[in-house]
A and B are shown apart, each in its own frame.
Chain A
């Protein structure tokens, strides 16, 4: 089983990964789901060690993705995929994970459910909320960029969410490193501008 090839646009972000109860879940979907859960749990674990003040723990997505790759490399449905494809999917998983989390955060803040009582820590909550909002804005700006220039959107996603470096991104997208550098700068500028407008 091959993970989805790059450039065919079949990694559309719309809810696929999260839709529950898809009866005949394809191998591919399952791989994504696994990866998604894995990324999430690794992130969680690292997050709680950061919070506990464990100095050796860092929330470094590159290390995270590399570690996840090592672990998944032996599994039957990931084995045949290249590390780069894996990382690209991990980036997608990470994006989706964070965006979903931010979305939840937002909706809780707006009202939440009646029977759940939250212990509130106002300061950190406010901080998280503003960060979450920015993330949501970034997500929709990326969506828009994806419609106009998919390659660039994928580049941003891979670099920002997946921690791919310039060389890896260039290889993944099949362009020169110079192109990546140029595209990155322009996309970043436009996205930053869009985010400010969204505020």
Chain B
């Protein structure tokens, strides 16, 4: 049939359709003029028209009912891997949840299956996202993920903890819970939500039916189906869609209804509604029988009443009526603060909400009472405020990554079997990571992270068929290795990543740039500054060409460049670059971790330049920022205190320095425990300050404790061990225990030699300090040999004018003076002196040594004018208070 024929057929159909039935055939016969087919077709149409019985006459609803409804659960699955289905627990838009038992163990589980997985990639992605989310969470009050796989037809499923319990509100009603019991349950819910927030996840669909209470009173948070990873909060189609899932908006925050950005505050709102319902026995708004548009208006515009004025509960709950008026007032404030329409005026975190619940339970005044509303203080609490240790963070990162890539892998697979096996293997691996919890921190855990990363690398190596994925894994695992101090492993992975990314994405791609920067930072850690700078600059240039000016990749690379410049001692350029990084990272929204890090590096550069006042004010800024970001007692805060202490130390204010260092130690110790490397560092730093105050014995005790921890955690050969040996050596030397000092410095040198393959200025520092021991022993020949070896190393690794070179030359000169070899001493002392005077902040002690020696040398060679000049400077230096920078 073509369109001309169809036009004719239609024309004839319309002409005939309304004729009396008996006349139609005759009319058509003459109209069709012998075209039998045409006549037959039109007759068939007329016949169909008269019958009115095709699918088109039924409603599409009936059709949908037939093809969609009748399959599930009747047409359901019975077995999933080792699990046998017992019954259907529930079904929703996304899928069906079954109660099942493990065939071998008989244990009960819940299995969630994505229904009609073939329908759209968007749905599969959402299902995978829920699985990913659950895998990330390991908390007693959050239903756990046990297993995941897909059926042969591609239908994905995952296995969760089966929770036998009733919804929160139902439980409270049935058990006639008192107000206090309700608050305790609510508090437990808050803790679970706060845990999710600590993992950068927002739930977005908190409601009593997603919170089950078991008969023993333990709660379980369920259904992370539309949970959102906070890093990807940009408006996206996905976000819009998932936001739509809410059919009953009773617990939805105004910003969710409006389609605005959601965040921690969204969950805080929903918790507020839940609390309202628990306290008042009814919801804040009656949305039944409203259209979605009407409901939206109410949620976004109407103010809720006070829970105390609803009063439904007072008549039904034992003891509720006896809650006093002031106490009810507090409960009203608690609810309504959490539910504030303006999210900026809600509790800034679930933790803040918990604090006020606790205040209420203890009868203390609330923080959210209008006269002391926290927003007035402008206290900005970040989403990640839950203190997460570095170890835990690395852990979460690794795990998150593995899960992420597992899902990516699942998406990428085209033929099922081989890939599915691999996916399953990685998933198993990922599951294993969760055994034993993620909260405990300490040496054993950091070690476990290493094994975990090692295993990740093995997995990654099998992924040759997917170079993009593989290179991404290499990149991330490499950076983790670096953070863990495993520089060799880091290097090999980052190199592989670089090669692969160059060939997959091109050498000019942002992906390649990312790896270049990471490799640059590795070189920086290895002390190869020129190479570090070259790599980071290359990455930065690519990013500047390929990315939009506001892209965080540019800021990140800029900050990295600043760090490299700082580490190589180019402080002025470092300050310039870091200021640029800070500018790029200063957002409208408040502090971020990356901004705090750049500011710290900037503060350090100023510190090394002797700009103590600037450095101090920057460090104080970072301290305030980190307190907002992480809370008062977080390791980052301890780091800031240590930096502030270092300034005081350099200024000679040892008492103040000690105060900062002790605070830092206290925080670190209580955060990580006694046997953690971070504790060891804090001990070392405090030890150093104590030495300067002459509290030698106390200092020695602390440093030995630190050394013990570090040897246990890192092994005997590690830069951290070497650093502590250096401090111990100095103390021993000061105490006159020269053999101990020699042993410490020698070990220090050996460690650096083996780690840095004989090429790092740290080795020079060790040798120079070792030489000092020989000076004390008056064995100037050995001292000279060691100083010269140190200087040789410096000349290969440091710029000629570096502070360390200056100090070593002064010290060499001094040894020669003590040995009465004035002519040999003079060039060393002079060169050292000149280098030191050019330093923004030279140690006064060595400057004075140089002056005294030079005076003596010139007196010996009868150059009295010169000698006089240095005598005068020496006298001047003695009068000068020790804290003034040598520049003046």
Contact = CB atoms under 8 A, between A and B. Distances in A.
Contact of B94 (A22, A41, A100): A41
A116 B77 CA distance: 6
B45 A193 contact: yes
Given A41-B245, A186-B45, A192-B48, A135 B63 contact: yes
B50 to A, nearest CB: 9
A110 interface: no
B362 interface: no
B60 A161 contact: yes
Contact of B48 (A61, A102, A149, A196): A196
B757 interface: no
Contacts of B75: 108, 118-121, 125
Contacts of A144: 1
A22 B65 CA distance: 31
Contacts, number: 212
B67 A131 contact: yes
Given A75-B259, A190-B9, A37 B123 contact: yes
Contact of A76 (B41, B44, B64, B240): B240
A107 to B, nearest CB: 10
B410 to A, nearest CB: 12
Contacts of B363: none
B436 interface: no
Please indicate which of the listed interface residues A18, A44, A60, A161 has the most CB atoms of chain B within 10 Å of its own CB. Answer: A44
Nearest to B115: A44
A51 to B, nearest CB: 6
Contacts of B64: 43, 47, 59, 61, 94, 98
Given A34-B237, A117-B79, A191-B54, A45 B247 contact: yes
B860 interface: no
Contacts of A118: 75-78
A104 B116 contact: yes
Contacts of A183: 10
Given A75-B240, A117-B79, A50 B69 contact: yes
A148 B6 CA distance: 8
Interface in B67-102: 67-71, 73-79, 91-94
B472 to A, nearest CB: 16
A119 B389 CA distance: 50
> Chain B contact residues: over half helix, strand or loop, or mixed?
helix
Nearest to B411: A21
Interface string A177-190: 00000110110111
Interface string A52-82: 0000001111000001001110111100000
A160 B57 CA distance: 9
B866 interface: no
Contacts of A119: 73-76, 78
A132 B240 CA distance: 32
Given A44-B115, A149-B3, A195 B55 contact: yes
Contact of A105 (B60, B67, B76, B119): B67
Interface residues of B, number: 72
Given A44-B93, A71-B244, A135 B77 contact: no
A97 B119 contact: yes
A83 B622 CA distance: 51
Given A18-B119, A34-B237, A74 B68 contact: no
B715 to A, nearest CB: 46
B492 to A, nearest CB: 31
Contacts of B68: 43-44, 47, 98, 101
A116 B71 contact: no
A121 B73 CA distance: 10
B371 interface: no
B10 A186 contact: yes
A57 to B, nearest CB: 11
B92 A45 contact: yes
Contacts of B291: 70
B324 interface: no
Contact of B66 (A33, A34, A77, A131): A131
Contact of A34 (B74, B78, B115, B122): B122
Contacts of B375: none
A183 B9 CA distance: 12
Contacts of A120: 74-75
Interface string B804-827: 000000000000000000000000
B104 interface: no
Contacts of B6: 148-149
Nearest to A56: B289
B105 interface: no
B880 interface: no
B153 interface: yes
B118 interface: yes
Contacts of A154: none
Nearest to B239: A75
Interface string B145-169: 0000001110000000000000000
A84 interface: no
A171 interface: no
A20 B121 contact: yes
Contacts of A186: 9-10, 13-14, 45
A182 B68 CA distance: 32
A27 to B, nearest CB: 8
Contacts of B123: 37, 40
B93 A189 contact: no
A127 B66 contact: yes
Contacts of A50: 65, 69
Contacts of A101: 67-68, 116
Please indicate which of the listed interface residues B60, B77, B258, B292 has the most CB atoms of chain A within 10 Å of its own CB. Answer: B60
B152 A113 contact: yes
Please indicate which of the listed interface residues B10, B13, B94 has the most CB atoms of chain A within 10 Å of its own CB. Answer: B10
A34 B241 contact: yes
B21 interface: no
Given A18-B119, A98-B64, A188 B292 contact: no
B118 A100 contact: yes
Given A44-B93, A50-B65, A75-B240, A70 B293 contact: yes
Contacts of A195: 54-55
B879 interface: no
Contacts of A100: 118-119
B39 to A, nearest CB: 13
A148 B8 CA distance: 12
Nearest to A150: B3
A17 interface: yes
A5 interface: no
A145 B411 CA distance: 37
Interface string B422-449: 0000000000000000000000000000
B175 to A, nearest CB: 27
Given A47-B68, A148-B6, A131 B119 contact: no
A50 B59 CA distance: 15
B119 A37 contact: yes
B765 to A, nearest CB: 52
Contacts of B241: 34, 37-38
Contacts of B60: 61, 94, 98, 160-161, 163
B49 A185 contact: yes
Given A59-B61, A75-B259, A113-B152, A148 B55 contact: no
A14 to B, nearest CB: 15
Contacts of B44: 193, 196
Nearest to A191: B56
A138 interface: yes
Given A160-B56, A189-B46, A193-B44, A33 B122 contact: yes
B13 A42 contact: no
Contacts of A47: 64-65, 68-69
Given A37-B122, A75-B237, 4 more contacts: A71-B292, A113-B153, A128-B70, A192-B51
10 contacts: A21-B121, A34-B122, A40-B93, A41-B93, A43-B68, A113-B151, A121-B75, A131-B67, A190-B9, A191-B54
